[in-house]
Structures are given as structure tokens and as C-alpha cells.
Amino acid sequence: MSAPMGGTPIDQASLRTNDETRWSASLFGRRDGANNRKTVTFGDSSAVRSLPVWSLLAFVSIFGFWFLATYAWGLPGDLQLSESQQEAGLTYESLSDKQRIAVCNGREDCKGSFSQLLQPLQFPSVRDTWNTFFELKDEGFRNVTLWENTSASLGRVIRGMLGGSLLGIPIGFAMGLSSRARGFFDTPVELLRPIPPLALIPLFILIFGIGDSSAVPLLIFASLWIMIIAARSGVQAANLSKVRAAYSLGASKRQVLLHVLLPNALPELFTGFRVALGVTWGTLVAAEIVGAPDGLGAMVFAARPLFRLDVMVVGIVVIAVLGVMMDIVLRWLESKLIPWRGKG
């Protein structure tokens, strides 16, 4: 128990208890009636947040289902290998799950003694995928390491998003601020926006060639229209009373654009950027199939004819994880640049 000068005593144990209660409430989603001053929760978007425990539960559920669906139940713990495998120095413990099942299916006394929801030729097990990840990290696939493929894909996505944003945001702003620009760009935007980027792969090959020459323009095409729509919607969502107030205070058009319209358009721009990022990642695999020498999409496509499902799944998982990480960064930037979003 301590007391500041001229104040009342402070109970350190109570402070620690309150801190622990607030931490537990933020982690598990419980609300403390004494500390929570909100009178409205349902319908208040500022009160909705992602709870870490539930996110962890979803993550564990996904991998738990993967493990249960690909695990070979009832597989013997030890089997006699063939003479060729023994001569190669292999042991049963060193075999992958796929190889163990192959050994079991090759023996009449073991075949059919185990149960498995998804066979190795349908989906790899968690253990085989984990081992393949380190194999790709250290040795690579087709003499290209996993990091080299990842950096190549990231570079293409960043260039595609950057190109789509630099072209799309000014066009969207012009469409929201000028009737002439709206009339001029409305027709090509509405004509080209519904076209799936994958349908244009043959045309982009003929125009730009193979590899990065066609992959990056295809990614720009995939993100361009989303950024145009987001920028246009952001400008149109600006509060007219704020615009009039700025003009009444003597602001120029440039000042209104930078200090009124752009801040009001930021929420729509971030939403468009996140949507465009997802579409761009979805287009990446097909874009890298077109003659790209490296990249996660090229690695997945090259593993397909070899039936290396483990390599394909590693590439897909890395694409998914990178997409989630980039979305988390965007959410963090959104919370810092637009702290007023969802607060009226």
C-alpha cells in the first residue's frame, strides 16, 4: 500500500488485479461491466475486433483436420523393407508417410490393415509437408530454393499492386471529381472490369512475351479496376459539409483534395487495396505458369506432372501465409492512418 503526496492510498494488488482482468477480457472477449463504458456493443463496429484465442482456435482446427484426414490409422510401427531399400541404407523410421504406405501396400499381410481418409496421391500428410518445407528451403526444387521462389513472387506482386495503384487511384479520383472524366473512363472501366485476368493470359503472351514481361502486366490488370472503384467510391463518400466548410475558410482545390477528400477516401482505399491484394495473389500462380523461370506459382506448376503433391502444398501454404501477413500489415497501417474508422 502506497500513497502519492496529497492523495489517497493506492492498492498495488488491486491495480494488478485490474490489469489482469483487462488482459483476460481482451484475450477471451469477456466484457467487464465496471470497466466497459460502452452502452452499445451490437452494431458498433469499433467494438468488434479479432480475438487472439479464437484466431488460434481456427488455426489449430485447420491443421487438426489436415492431420486427421491424412494420418494413416492402424499402420504398423515397423515393417521389413525390400532388399533394394535396405541396400540403399534406408530404414523404416527414415521413410516418409507416403513411402511407408507404399511399403505396406506392397505386402499382403499389411495391405488394407490401415485406414486413411485422404490417400497420399490425394493430399500429403502434415509430416511429409513439414519435411518437404525444409528440403525446399535447403536444397530447393529444380535448383531453385524456396526463398528464391518466394522473393520472385513477392517482387511480382509488389510491382503489380504498385502499378495498379499508381494508375487506378488517380483515375478513380478523377472519375469522382469530374463529370468529363467520369463519362470518359466509365465505359472502358465497366467493359474491362468484369473480364477475368486468367482469360487474358494468351493475349498477354502474344503482346508482352513470356515470363515477367507478361506476368507483371497481368497482375497490374488484376488490381487496376479494383483500385479505380475504391478511389471513386472514397471520393464520393466524402462529407459535403466538410468540403463546404473548407471552401468557406478559403481553402484551394488542392488543399481540399489533400486535407479533406484524401483522408475521407482512405478507408475505401485500404479496403480496395486489401481486396486487390487477394485477387493479385490468386492470379499469381496462373501468371507464373506462363514461362516464368522461378516463383511459387512456377514451382507448384512444375511439381504437378511429377506428382509431388508435397511440393505443391508447400507452395500453396507459403502463398497463403504471405497473403495473411501482408493483410496483417495493411490492417496495422489502417489502424495507424485511419484511427477514426468505425467511430462515427
Instruction: Tell me if 314 is assigned to some domain.
Output: yes
Exposed (0-12), middle (13-18) or buried (19+): which is 148, by Cβ within 10 Å?
middle
Looking at the structure, tell me whether residues 115 and 188 fall in a common domain.
no
pTM for the model? 0.76
Pair 159, 119 in one domain = no
The answer to whether the beta carbons of residues 260 and 242 sit under 8 Å apart is yes
Q: Tell me the C-alpha distance between 40 and 260, whole Å.
A: 29
Shared domain check, 188 and 106: no
Residues 204 and 328 in one domain: yes
Task: Tell me which of 124, 159, 183 is where a domain ends.
Answer: 124
114 and 150, same domain (yes or no): no
Q: How far apart are CA 141 and CA 129, in angstroms?
A: 14
Task: Please count the other Cβ atoms lying within 10 Å of the Cβ belonging to residue 277.
Answer: 20
Say whether both 194 and 104 belong to one domain: no
| 94 shares its domain with 165 | no
One digit per residue, the tens of pLDDT, for the chain of length 344 reads: 555 555 555 555 555 655 555 555 555 555 544 445 555 566 666 677 777 888 889 889 998 999 999 888 888 777 777 776 676 777 777 788 888 888 888 777 788 788 888 888 889 999 999 999 999 988 888 888 999 999 999 999 999 999 999 999 999 999 988 889 889 999 999 999 999 888 888 888 888 888 778 888 999 999 999 999 999 998 888 778 888 888 888 888 888 888 888 888 888 898 899 899 889 988 888 888 777 788 898 898 888 888 889 999 999 999 888 888 888 888 888 888 877 765 55
> 272 near 230, Cβ under 8 Å?
yes
Does any domain span residue 256? yes
Rounded Cα distance between 287 and 11, Å, is 63
Same domain? 117 vs 159: no
Cα(334)–Cα(274) distance, integer angstroms = 11
- State whether 247 and 332 are in the same domain: yes
Residue type, 258: L
Give the domain extent around 246. Answer: 146-337
- Dist CA 51 CA 29 (whole Å): 7
Q: Is residue 105 part of a domain?
A: yes
Would you say residue 77 lies in a domain? yes
Domain final residue pick, 73, 90, 124: 124
Read off the C-alpha cell for 306.
511429377
| 136, part of any domain | no
Same domain? For 113 and 151 the reply is no
Q: Is residue 207 part of a domain?
A: yes
Tally of domains in the chain: 2
Domain annotation covers residue 104 = yes
The reply to whether 254 falls in a domain is yes
Are 215 and 159 a contacting pair, CB within 8 Å? no
Considering the domain architecture, whether residues 169 and 95 belong to the same structural domain is answered as no
Q: What pLDDT does 1 receive?
A: 52
CATH number of the domain that residue 256 is part of = 1.10.3720.10
